[in-house]
Structure 1
Amino acid sequence: MAFGPNPPPIQAHICVKGGTDAIAFYKKAFGAECPFHALAEDGKRVMHANIEVFGGEVMLHDEFPEFGGGVLSPSSRGGASVTISINLPKPSDVNAAIARAEAAGANVVLRAEDTFWGARYGQIQDPFGHIWAFNAPLQETNP
Protein backbone atom coordinates (compact mmCIF):
# COMPACT_ATOMS: atom_id res chain seq x y z
CA MET A 1 0.00 0.00 0.00
CA ALA A 2 1.46 3.37 -0.99
CA PHE A 3 -0.51 5.40 1.52
CA GLY A 4 -0.82 4.09 5.07
CA PRO A 5 -3.53 4.88 7.60
CA ASN A 6 -1.47 7.44 9.56
CA PRO A 7 0.71 9.43 7.16
CA PRO A 8 3.11 11.87 8.81
CA PRO A 9 2.24 15.56 8.42
CA ILE A 10 5.46 16.21 6.46
CA GLN A 11 7.36 13.75 4.27
CA ALA A 12 10.45 14.11 2.13
CA HIS A 13 9.98 12.89 -1.44
CA ILE A 14 13.33 12.46 -3.12
CA CYS A 15 14.34 11.83 -6.70
CA VAL A 16 17.26 9.48 -7.37
CA LYS A 17 19.09 8.12 -10.38
CA GLY A 18 18.89 4.37 -9.80
CA GLY A 19 15.89 3.81 -7.56
CA THR A 20 16.37 0.09 -6.98
CA ASP A 21 20.01 0.68 -6.01
CA ALA A 22 18.93 3.55 -3.74
CA ILE A 23 16.47 1.33 -1.88
CA ALA A 24 19.23 -1.25 -1.34
CA PHE A 25 21.63 1.47 -0.16
CA TYR A 26 19.16 2.94 2.35
CA LYS A 27 18.49 -0.54 3.74
CA LYS A 28 22.22 -1.15 4.22
CA ALA A 29 23.21 2.36 5.34
CA PHE A 30 20.24 3.26 7.52
CA GLY A 31 18.49 -0.04 8.30
CA ALA A 32 15.54 1.19 6.24
CA GLU A 33 12.51 -0.90 5.34
CA CYS A 34 10.67 -0.59 2.06
CA PRO A 35 7.07 -1.75 2.58
CA PHE A 36 5.98 -0.56 -0.87
CA HIS A 37 7.53 0.14 -4.23
CA ALA A 38 6.20 0.13 -7.76
CA LEU A 39 8.15 0.12 -11.01
CA ALA A 40 7.34 2.28 -14.01
CA GLU A 41 6.00 0.77 -17.23
CA ASP A 42 9.60 0.28 -18.43
CA GLY A 43 10.03 -2.29 -15.64
CA LYS A 44 13.31 -0.67 -14.55
CA ARG A 45 12.73 2.68 -12.90
CA VAL A 46 11.04 3.11 -9.54
CA MET A 47 7.82 5.06 -10.01
CA HIS A 48 7.20 5.26 -6.25
CA ALA A 49 8.65 3.77 -3.07
CA ASN A 50 7.99 4.30 0.61
CA ILE A 51 11.11 3.98 2.75
CA GLU A 52 10.67 3.69 6.52
CA VAL A 53 13.76 5.09 8.19
CA PHE A 54 14.68 6.52 11.62
CA GLY A 55 11.06 6.36 12.76
CA GLY A 56 9.83 8.37 9.76
CA GLU A 57 9.17 7.88 6.10
CA VAL A 58 10.82 9.09 2.93
CA MET A 59 9.23 8.57 -0.45
CA LEU A 60 11.43 8.18 -3.50
CA HIS A 61 11.28 7.74 -7.23
CA ASP A 62 13.65 7.54 -10.17
CA GLU A 63 14.32 10.35 -12.61
CA PHE A 64 11.62 10.91 -15.22
CA PRO A 65 12.97 13.64 -17.51
CA GLU A 66 10.18 12.95 -19.98
CA PHE A 67 7.65 14.33 -17.49
CA GLY A 68 7.11 18.07 -17.22
CA GLY A 69 8.95 20.01 -14.56
CA GLY A 70 12.34 18.40 -14.99
CA VAL A 71 12.04 15.48 -12.58
CA LEU A 72 15.78 15.03 -12.04
CA SER A 73 18.00 13.85 -9.20
CA PRO A 74 20.75 15.85 -7.49
CA SER A 75 23.26 13.85 -9.55
CA SER A 76 21.80 15.25 -12.77
CA ARG A 77 21.14 18.73 -11.37
CA GLY A 78 24.66 19.21 -10.02
CA GLY A 79 23.90 18.87 -6.31
CA ALA A 80 21.24 18.69 -3.64
CA SER A 81 19.12 21.73 -2.81
CA VAL A 82 17.93 20.49 0.60
CA THR A 83 19.31 18.57 3.57
CA ILE A 84 17.34 15.75 5.16
CA SER A 85 17.78 16.17 8.92
CA ILE A 86 17.51 13.22 11.27
CA ASN A 87 17.13 13.92 15.00
CA LEU A 88 18.50 11.11 17.12
CA PRO A 89 18.24 10.58 20.88
CA LYS A 90 21.93 10.28 21.86
CA PRO A 91 25.24 11.74 20.64
CA SER A 92 26.66 8.24 20.13
CA ASP A 93 23.77 7.56 17.71
CA VAL A 94 25.11 10.33 15.44
CA ASN A 95 28.54 8.71 15.33
CA ALA A 96 27.01 5.29 14.66
CA ALA A 97 24.70 6.55 11.89
CA ILE A 98 27.53 8.30 10.08
CA ALA A 99 29.87 5.30 10.42
CA ARG A 100 27.21 2.91 9.11
CA ALA A 101 26.39 5.16 6.15
CA GLU A 102 30.08 5.61 5.32
CA ALA A 103 30.64 1.84 5.44
CA ALA A 104 27.73 1.43 3.01
CA GLY A 105 29.27 3.87 0.51
CA ALA A 106 28.25 7.38 1.61
CA ASN A 107 30.72 10.27 1.64
CA VAL A 108 31.18 12.07 4.92
CA VAL A 109 30.55 15.78 4.34
CA LEU A 110 31.01 16.81 7.97
CA ARG A 111 32.43 14.46 10.60
CA ALA A 112 30.39 14.31 13.79
CA GLU A 113 31.33 17.07 16.20
CA ASP A 114 29.94 18.84 19.23
CA THR A 115 28.38 22.14 18.19
CA PHE A 116 27.79 25.55 19.72
CA TRP A 117 24.03 24.86 19.79
CA GLY A 118 24.50 21.95 22.21
CA ALA A 119 24.24 19.02 19.82
CA ARG A 120 26.36 16.31 18.26
CA TYR A 121 26.03 16.93 14.51
CA GLY A 122 27.41 15.56 11.25
CA GLN A 123 26.48 15.11 7.59
CA ILE A 124 26.86 12.52 4.83
CA GLN A 125 26.13 12.60 1.13
CA ASP A 126 24.57 9.42 -0.17
CA PRO A 127 25.66 7.94 -3.52
CA PHE A 128 22.58 9.53 -5.13
CA GLY A 129 23.52 13.11 -4.21
CA HIS A 130 21.28 13.68 -1.18
CA ILE A 131 22.67 15.23 2.00
CA TRP A 132 21.62 13.66 5.30
CA ALA A 133 22.34 15.45 8.58
CA PHE A 134 22.37 13.69 11.95
CA ASN A 135 21.72 15.64 15.13
CA ALA A 136 21.40 14.69 18.82
CA PRO A 137 21.37 16.77 22.00
CA LEU A 138 24.60 16.64 23.99
CA GLN A 139 22.64 16.46 27.23
CA GLU A 140 19.54 14.41 27.77
CA THR A 141 16.43 16.44 28.44
CA ASN A 142 13.69 15.45 30.84
CA PRO A 143 10.16 15.71 29.44
Structure 2
Amino acid sequence: MATVNVYLTFNGNCREAFDFYKSVFGGEYPYIGTFGEMPPQEGMEMSEEDKNKIMHVTLPISKETVLMGSDTGGEWASDFTMGNNFSVSINAESKDEANTLFNGLSEGGNVTMPLADTFWGAYFGMFTDKFGINWMVNYDDPAKMQQHP
Protein backbone atom coordinates (compact mmCIF):
# COMPACT_ATOMS: atom_id res chain seq x y z
CA MET A 1 0.00 0.00 0.00
CA ALA A 2 1.27 3.48 -0.88
CA THR A 3 2.30 6.06 1.71
CA VAL A 4 1.07 9.65 1.56
CA ASN A 5 2.92 12.76 2.73
CA VAL A 6 2.70 16.51 2.17
CA TYR A 7 5.14 18.22 -0.22
CA LEU A 8 5.59 21.96 0.45
CA THR A 9 6.78 24.48 -2.14
CA PHE A 10 8.43 27.79 -1.26
CA ASN A 11 9.52 30.87 -3.17
CA GLY A 12 13.14 31.04 -2.01
CA ASN A 13 12.74 30.44 1.72
CA CYS A 14 12.51 26.63 1.86
CA ARG A 15 15.70 26.26 3.94
CA GLU A 16 14.46 28.84 6.46
CA ALA A 17 11.06 27.14 6.71
CA PHE A 18 12.51 23.63 7.10
CA ASP A 19 15.06 24.81 9.68
CA PHE A 20 12.08 26.21 11.60
CA TYR A 21 10.11 22.94 11.26
CA LYS A 22 13.21 21.00 12.36
CA SER A 23 13.51 23.22 15.45
CA VAL A 24 9.94 22.26 16.40
CA PHE A 25 9.81 18.57 15.37
CA GLY A 26 13.48 17.75 15.98
CA GLY A 27 15.33 15.17 13.92
CA GLU A 28 17.72 15.50 11.01
CA TYR A 29 17.46 15.84 7.24
CA PRO A 30 18.17 12.49 5.55
CA TYR A 31 18.56 14.57 2.38
CA ILE A 32 18.81 18.26 1.51
CA GLY A 33 20.07 19.38 -1.90
CA THR A 34 20.20 22.56 -3.96
CA PHE A 35 19.41 23.19 -7.63
CA GLY A 36 23.12 23.94 -8.12
CA GLU A 37 23.91 20.33 -7.18
CA MET A 38 21.70 18.95 -9.97
CA PRO A 39 23.26 17.60 -13.16
CA PRO A 40 23.36 20.37 -15.79
CA GLN A 41 20.24 20.59 -17.96
CA GLU A 42 20.86 21.23 -21.65
CA GLY A 43 19.64 24.66 -22.73
CA MET A 44 18.77 25.68 -19.17
CA GLU A 45 20.74 28.51 -17.62
CA MET A 46 20.41 29.02 -13.88
CA SER A 47 21.08 32.18 -11.90
CA GLU A 48 23.38 32.05 -8.86
CA GLU A 49 20.34 32.81 -6.71
CA ASP A 50 18.46 29.80 -8.14
CA LYS A 51 21.51 27.53 -7.71
CA ASN A 52 21.34 28.11 -3.93
CA LYS A 53 17.62 27.34 -3.70
CA ILE A 54 16.52 23.98 -2.31
CA MET A 55 15.73 21.35 -4.97
CA HIS A 56 14.56 18.81 -2.37
CA VAL A 57 14.55 18.36 1.40
CA THR A 58 13.09 15.61 3.55
CA LEU A 59 12.35 15.86 7.30
CA PRO A 60 10.88 12.85 9.13
CA ILE A 61 8.31 14.07 11.68
CA SER A 62 7.05 10.67 12.88
CA LYS A 63 7.65 6.97 12.21
CA GLU A 64 5.20 7.11 9.29
CA THR A 65 5.33 10.70 8.09
CA VAL A 66 7.86 12.98 6.43
CA LEU A 67 7.60 16.61 5.38
CA MET A 68 9.16 17.17 1.98
CA GLY A 69 9.77 20.42 0.19
CA SER A 70 11.58 22.55 -2.34
CA ASP A 71 11.91 26.07 -3.63
CA THR A 72 10.43 27.14 -6.91
CA GLY A 73 12.39 29.14 -9.44
CA GLY A 74 12.86 29.99 -13.09
CA GLU A 75 9.83 29.22 -15.25
CA TRP A 76 7.96 27.67 -12.30
CA ALA A 77 8.15 30.78 -10.07
CA SER A 78 5.28 32.56 -11.84
CA ASP A 79 2.93 29.72 -10.79
CA PHE A 80 3.76 30.09 -7.08
CA THR A 81 0.77 31.08 -4.94
CA MET A 82 1.15 31.23 -1.16
CA GLY A 83 -1.60 29.13 0.39
CA ASN A 84 -1.72 26.74 -2.57
CA ASN A 85 1.94 25.80 -2.35
CA PHE A 86 1.65 22.15 -1.43
CA SER A 87 1.11 18.80 -3.11
CA VAL A 88 -0.04 15.43 -1.91
CA SER A 89 2.93 13.11 -2.41
CA ILE A 90 2.27 9.39 -2.89
CA ASN A 91 5.14 6.92 -2.60
CA ALA A 92 4.04 3.76 -4.41
CA GLU A 93 5.32 0.28 -3.62
CA SER A 94 5.74 -0.69 -7.29
CA LYS A 95 6.00 0.84 -10.75
CA ASP A 96 2.62 -0.72 -11.61
CA GLU A 97 1.00 0.88 -8.56
CA ALA A 98 2.57 4.24 -9.48
CA ASN A 99 1.12 3.97 -13.01
CA THR A 100 -2.33 2.97 -11.72
CA LEU A 101 -2.49 5.80 -9.17
CA PHE A 102 -1.06 8.42 -11.55
CA ASN A 103 -3.33 7.49 -14.46
CA GLY A 104 -6.44 7.21 -12.28
CA LEU A 105 -5.99 10.40 -10.27
CA SER A 106 -4.83 12.54 -13.22
CA GLU A 107 -7.83 11.63 -15.40
CA GLY A 108 -9.53 14.88 -16.40
CA GLY A 109 -6.72 16.92 -14.82
CA ASN A 110 -3.51 18.54 -16.05
CA VAL A 111 -0.30 16.48 -16.16
CA THR A 112 2.62 18.84 -15.45
CA MET A 113 5.35 16.15 -15.50
CA PRO A 114 4.59 12.70 -16.97
CA LEU A 115 5.80 9.65 -15.04
CA ALA A 116 9.39 8.94 -16.03
CA ASP A 117 12.68 7.69 -14.63
CA THR A 118 14.58 10.58 -13.04
CA PHE A 119 18.24 11.42 -12.51
CA TRP A 120 17.80 10.76 -8.77
CA GLY A 121 16.79 7.17 -9.44
CA ALA A 122 13.02 7.36 -8.92
CA TYR A 123 10.05 6.88 -11.22
CA PHE A 124 8.22 10.19 -10.72
CA GLY A 125 5.47 12.41 -12.12
CA MET A 126 3.27 15.37 -11.17
CA PHE A 127 -0.21 16.60 -12.04
CA THR A 128 -3.11 18.73 -10.89
CA ASP A 129 -6.32 16.74 -10.67
CA LYS A 130 -9.70 17.85 -12.04
CA PHE A 131 -10.50 19.35 -8.61
CA GLY A 132 -7.39 21.59 -8.56
CA ILE A 133 -5.35 19.46 -6.11
CA ASN A 134 -1.63 19.08 -6.85
CA TRP A 135 -0.24 15.53 -6.69
CA MET A 136 3.18 13.86 -6.97
CA VAL A 137 3.55 10.13 -7.56
CA ASN A 138 6.89 8.49 -6.81
CA TYR A 139 8.28 4.97 -6.90
CA ASP A 140 11.76 4.38 -5.49
CA ASP A 141 13.06 1.28 -7.28
CA PRO A 142 15.32 -0.41 -4.69
CA ALA A 143 17.78 -1.51 -7.39
CA LYS A 144 18.16 2.05 -8.73
CA MET A 145 18.21 3.66 -5.29
CA GLN A 146 21.27 1.56 -4.33
CA GLN A 147 23.07 3.15 -7.28
CA HIS A 148 22.05 6.69 -6.22
CA PRO A 149 22.52 7.13 -2.45
TM-score range (shorter-chain normalised) is 0.3 to 0.5
Structure ranking higher in helix proportion: 2
Give the TM-score, by structure 1 length: 0.39
Q: Which TM-score applies when normalising by structure 2?
A: 0.38
